[in-house]
Structure 1
Amino acid sequence: MTLALKGIVYSSFAGLATTIGGIPFLLWRKKVNRKTLDMLLGFAAGVMLAATAFSLVVPSIEIGGPVRFVIGFFLGAVFVYLMDKFSPHEHLIKGYEGPLSHAKVSKIWLFVIAITLHNFPEGMAVGVGAFSKEALVIAVAIGIQNIPEGAAVSASLTGAGYKAGTTFLITLLTGVVEIIGGIFGALLMVIARPLLPYAMAFAGGAMLYVISDEVIPETHSGGYELLSTYSLIFGFILMTLLDNMLG
């Protein structure tokens, strides 16, 4: 299997893991409480944080040195910031964000835009990571965190009154976005392999920005800060151990 094909296959498996979290909500249509949502998102944040640190940041520095890491990491964070600032989108808990002039866009489409903004870097990380020795670790990390993330997405949409089919379709879309990101990352490496340390750092910076600016603040705004913090710690520990075993 070529490295590019590996990146696409890995990102497909990782991305579609979101549907595993969404499947229960096809049958169980009750509203999920905020405590459960914060726990799920906290765990996902911990897994993402460990994957960012050990599977993207460290390899980027090892491959390209500190200067390339700093440049790529900073650009990744700035990229997500600019997309957040200028693209209208809807968050699971925080609600609408972006230019006020676009606030009347359909809520479903605003949610889809948010998914695209935040999940594309995850898919890109898998696609780019296929060209490093961390390929399997990154794919497993993204796949694991996508399960509770998919559950949180489905639970939120179910609670908002969306039909089962619509809920599952949007949850599936979160995975499709990551597959697209994986294809982009893999093809980028085929065209310009020397960009690997920059690209890994870019994906890491983008993911860390999402964790810090979106996920953690959302899980700390509903009164369950301690639970979400321990969930994050558990996710971080689990991914760190898996990284050690798989690496």
Structure 2
Amino acid sequence: MSDIVWIGLLASLGAGLMTGVGALPVLAGRHPSARRSDAMLGFAAGVMLSASYFSLILPGLAAAEAQGLGRPAAAGLAAVGIALGALFVAGLNRALPHEHFVAGREGAGAEGVARIWLFVLAITIHNFPEGLAVGVGFGGGDVANGMTLAIGIGLQNAPEGLAVAVALVGLGYSRLFAVAIAAATGLVEPVGGLIGVIAVHASGAVLPWGLTFAAGAMLFIVSHEIIPETHRRGHQAAATTGLMVGVIAMMLLDVTLG
């Protein structure tokens, strides 16, 4: 494998491991309040929103124009790519049984699966597109953009890992086991990262499609999964504040590193 493929793989692995790092407070018996948890997940949503636009959609438009497309055609390509990414995650949601922290069970056959695996599958559905985004970011050869995505995705993985671990402890599992499972859910990110970096590195023509596809996948997750979860317990103000902080933090990160 070329150097850029290795870098993309390792960066997506590092971002995925932040899921386990975020879960570590559970070992000390520290559980965030519902309000704080919703604020942290709101932050994760904000990071994903900002990353989708600043690190994926805008570079995707630029890549399409660099390949000779006019602005209208580049915008059309981006629109199709975003729609395909959203449809991809929507299909995963329908096909894979999973459970959300508040909303409950979804997907085919969810009633017949143990709750621990439903939680794992729910976070896996989140993490695969995130790893894909990091890999695609590196695949075009723009290391700065890839690093920005990896850092941003890593930051938003931490509160997700904590939420998973807290939920598992609430189901009666040991703290150590809960942290281990939370960390394991992040290991799907390097799989997505490897697929993304190889696909885009193999053909430059894939770059605008890959960037906008990853953006659509993440936008779907934010709207369909994370924001509804953070607004179900009456902590909308805290969740929205977290979201705004996440948007701003990721924008500053993108401008500074990119």
Per the normalisation by structure 2, the TM-score is: 0.90
Of 84, 106, 115, 1:107 maps to: 115
2:206 to 187, 195, 203: 195
Residue of structure 1 in register with 2:128 after alignment: 120
Q: Is 1:2 aligned to residue 11 of structure 2? A: no
Judge which range, 30-39 or 75-84, deviates more.
Answer: 30-39
Mapping of residues 1-247 of structure 1, within 5 Å: 2-28=3-29, 31-64=31-64, 65-99=74-108, 101-132=109-140, 133=142, 134-247=145-258
Q: Distance in 2 between matches of 1:4 and 1:68?
A: 25
Higher mean C-alpha displacement, 49-58 vs 166-175: 166-175
Label 1:102 to 1:13 Cα distance change in 2 as closer, same or farther (>3 A): closer
Offset of residue 112 of structure 1: 1.7
Indicate the SS of the match to 1:130: helix
| Counterpart position of 2:71 | none
How far did 1:92 drift?
Answer: 2.0
Given that 1:31 and 1:158 are in contact with CA atoms closer than 8 Å, whether structure 2 keeps it comes out as: no
Percent of aligned pairs with the same amino acid: 43
| TM-score, length basis structure 1 | 0.94
Q: Distance in 1 between matches of 2:92 and 2:244?
A: 28
Aligned partner letter, 1:216 = I
By how many angstroms is 1:191 displaced? Answer: 3.3
Say which is worse superposed, 153-162 or 222-231, in terms of deviation. Answer: 153-162
Aligned AA (1:88)? P
> How far apart, in 2, do the equivalents of 1:102 and 1:159 lie?
19
Any idea what SS the aligned residue of 1:162 has? Answer: coil
The question of whether the paired residues in 2 share the 8 Å contact of 1:32 and 1:156 is answered with no
- After TM superposition, the structure 1 stretch with the greater mean CA deviation from structure 2, 61-70 or 149-158, is 149-158
RMSD of aligned residue pairs (Cα, Å): 1.5
Q: What's the secondary structure of 1:201's corresponding residue?
A: helix
Q: Deviations over 1:181-239 (max 9, x none)?
A: 11111222233331111011111000000000110011011010011101110111111
Report the Cα distance in structure 2 between the residues aligned to 1:26 and 1:95, rounded to whole angstroms: 25
Shift of the alpha carbon at 1:146? 1.1
How far apart, in 2, do the equivalents of 1:214 and 1:102 lie?
16
Residue 9 of structure 1 aligns with an amino acid whose one-letter code is L
Deviation track 1:118-169 (CA, whole Å, cap 9, x = no partner) reads 1100000001100243111111111111122222222222233221232112
What CA distance in whole angstroms lies between the structure 1 residues aligned with 2:119 and 2:110? 13
Question: Any gaps of 5 or more consecutive residues in structure 2?
Answer: 65-73
Q: Is the CA contact (8 Å cut-off) linking 2:35 and 2:235 kept in structure 1? A: yes
Question: Could you say what secondary structure the match of 1:17 adopts?
Answer: helix
Deviation at 1:31, TM superposition (A): 4.7
8 Å CA contact 2:116–2:168 kept in 1: the answer is no
Greater mean alpha carbon deviation, residues 181-190 or residues 213-222: 181-190
1:76-107 CA-partner distances (Å, limit 9, x unpaired): 001111111222111122110112x4411111
